[in-house]
Structure 1
Amino acid sequence: MDVTSWLLDSDPSIRWQVLRDVVGAPADVVAEERSRVANEGWGAQLLDLQWEDGSWDGGAWGPADFSEETWKTEGQAWTSTMWTLALLADLGVVPTDPRVAAAVEKVAANVKWEYAGENYFDGEVEACINGRTVRAGEYFGRDMSALVARLLSEQKPDGGWNCFESEVSSFDSTLGVLEGFVEFVSRRGPDSRVDAAIDRALEYMYARGLFRGLRSGEPVQEYYLCFTYPNRHNYHVLRILDLVRASGRAPDPRAVEAISVIRERRGEDGRWLHEGTMRGRIPFVLEEKGEPGRWTTLIATRVLNWWDAAQPVS
């Protein structure tokens, strides 16, 4: 099977990344394809769902009609402003596209966090939420330096972060902050304090093989080895390795077991299955669980290409 052709036979949000990361197409060809994301397919559908008040589904973290009971019975909702902005960034909408810029301005002007009514791009109190706010803000052209400084002050002695009251970090929370920090330096250039914080956080993860407990040696969570998309707040080894790749850092030998897991999941036809998305309300279905997944195949392909390119020639 021609996997590249199959990947290109898809939504513009996938096509432009395949052209950039797999095909190595000229920059102008990539840019032309990327310009379609805000106006065609999934990107356009997400933008269409924005409410007049600037939010998605009536809330910053949770929809307007969301309740603790809904959370218990149906799972977390992924249709609110925070998760939609994250998905729009994943899809790669061009931030300066007039439609995108206008949508983000409405968020900045009107959307408040549920915690204490803070302005959206000022963040709130949880590190994992603030990390994702930094990522979205920087991606869409906001200055997130103040929230970055706060997160730097909250880094734990072991190198990571945790949204809960604990002196021990978590993979999931640390990933959320790392995504914000990587976006920050990619937009603004090297920053010694932020780069050092990224390296400390990655050391926390590498010391655990990217998915194992430090003392037990056992996988911390089963889903750390489950390749879901969209990613939401879930950590998994494919997601963290794609982030390390995007940061411009070289592969670390301590990721070899995680890389082996990725290789083992590749089907005989060269594709990876879409292993699902997290339970809860979603805006629409991107891919069908259990079927070959274009997102998983794209991400796994570029991660393995990055890893293999750094290995010595035997």
Structure 2
Amino acid sequence: MAPSDVITWLLDTDPALRWQVERDLLDASPEQWQATRARISQEGYGAALLAHQDPATGLWAGGAFFPAGFLEDPASKELPGQPWTATTWSLTTLREWGMDAAPLIARDTAAKLAEHARWEFDDSLPYWGGEVDVCINAMTLSNGLWLGADVEPLVDWFCEHRMDEGGWNCEWEHGSRRASFHSTLNALRALHEHERLTGGTDAAREVQRAGEEYLLQRNLTRRLSTGEIVGPWVDHFLYPPRHIYTALRALDHFREADRRDSRMQEAVQMVRDAQQTDGTWLQQHVLPGQVWFEIDVRVGEPSPWLTMQALRVLRWWNRE
């Protein structure tokens, strides 16, 4: 396609994507993009994912992080990746699409999950209290805020579990004392959501700034110790990203926080370099595992989701 056709191509998509194009790329009126966003629960991907929720328990696939029985099934050990169908992943997907929480609130989802959901790591842990994994707790904090659950203790948990370097690591329980790009970005996204919705706390703002500085000291891309690119995943953009760090996803966080810094230049250049001559960005990686249905394209094909995200990041970065 010609570069001038990219916006037209992006508008011919599901409401979960289209409303973001209208708001972030076209500066459409709030009335227009809000009307499109309201359609997420009624048609397309959003309606399809909502249809998989158990109305009695509020769960998806019968489990909190994994489908019911998955960890006990010997065959699961032979499968590539992990399933992405259980409750935490499904809620996170709907929230990140921007769906209004009202349909889930009407279903009393938060209360049902408090009653019926338990973490596979330790089934004595209540769902909204989180568990030990940074990325899981980040999703739980954001999802709980969205649905009106009491998740404020998780904010304190993030303050208490920050590494000395300023970031977080899901492997802390196994003795790691080094922060992780992946875990840190997921924690930052949740803490930013807490600040946006509640005003935050002094302690939470402090650790959030420290976590952002951890990434910025590394130019969002490199090891501080050696200066080497931290991993091949940094510029292998993918949708859905699940828990995976990329330069694009990190930049999108800083766009949402509206914090520009010259140390982001290399990450921005990675995004620019990945643009194709037709103005699109390709799907570069897909995480294996069971899904309810496919959302984006196969590896090597132009991705509407990545194209929208990249264009809005560059638009933010290039503004005067």
TM-score of the superposition, structure 1-length normalised?
A: 0.93
| 1:8-34 Cα shifts (integer Å, max 9, x gaps) | 100000111111101111111111111
Gaps of 5+ in 2: none
* Maintained 8 Å contact 1:227/1:236: yes
Distance apart, 1:100 and its partner CA: 6.3
How do residues 44-63 of structure 1 correspond to structure 2 at under 5 angstroms? 44-51=47-54, 52-63=56-67
Equivalence for 1:26: 29
Q: Percent identity at matched positions?
A: 37
| 1:223-246 Cα shifts (integer Å, max 9, x gaps) | 121111111111111011101111
The one of 220, 243, 251 equivalent to 1:241 is: 251
* Maintained 8 Å contact 1:93/1:100: no
Q: Secondary structure at the match of 1:97?
A: helix
Matched, 1:232 2:220: no
How do residues 179-198 of structure 1 correspond to structure 2 at under 5 angstroms? 179-198=189-208
Distance in 2, matches of 1:257 and 1:6, equals 28
Distance in 2, matches of 1:104 and 1:298, equals 31
Equivalence for 2:40: 37
Distance in 2, matches of 1:35 and 1:109, equals 29
The one of 156, 170, 176 equivalent to 1:166 is: 176
Letter aligned with residue 10 of structure 2: L
| 1:131-184 Cα shifts (integer Å, max 9, x gaps) | 111111112222321111111111111001111121111011112211210110
Distance apart, 1:53 and its partner CA: 2.6
* Maintained 8 Å contact 2:240/2:296: no
TM-score of the superposition, structure 2-length normalised?
A: 0.92
Letter aligned with residue 63 of structure 1: P
| 1:290-314 Cα shifts (integer Å, max 9, x gaps) | 211110001001100111115xxxx
| 1:76-113 Cα shifts (integer Å, max 9, x gaps) | 11111111111111111101236765444432332111
The one of 115, 122, 132 equivalent to 1:125 is: 132
Distance in 2, matches of 1:105 and 1:30, equals 30
Matched, 1:274 2:277: no
Judge which range, 90-99 or 46-55, deviates more.
Answer: 90-99
Equivalence for 2:160: 153
Moved over 6 A (4+): none
Q: Secondary structure at the match of 1:235?
A: coil
Letter aligned with residue 127 of structure 1: V
Letter aligned with residue 264 of structure 1: D
Equivalence for 2:82: 76
Matched, 1:259 2:259: no
Q: Secondary structure at the match of 2:102?
A: coil
How do residues 283-298 of structure 1 correspond to structure 2 at under 5 angstroms? 283-289=292-298, 290-298=300-308
Distance in 2, matches of 1:100 and 1:299, equals 31
Corresponding residue pairs, total: 309
Q: CA RMSD in A?
A: 1.7
* Maintained 8 Å contact 1:238/1:262: yes
Gaps of 5+ in 1: none
Equivalence for 1:217: 227
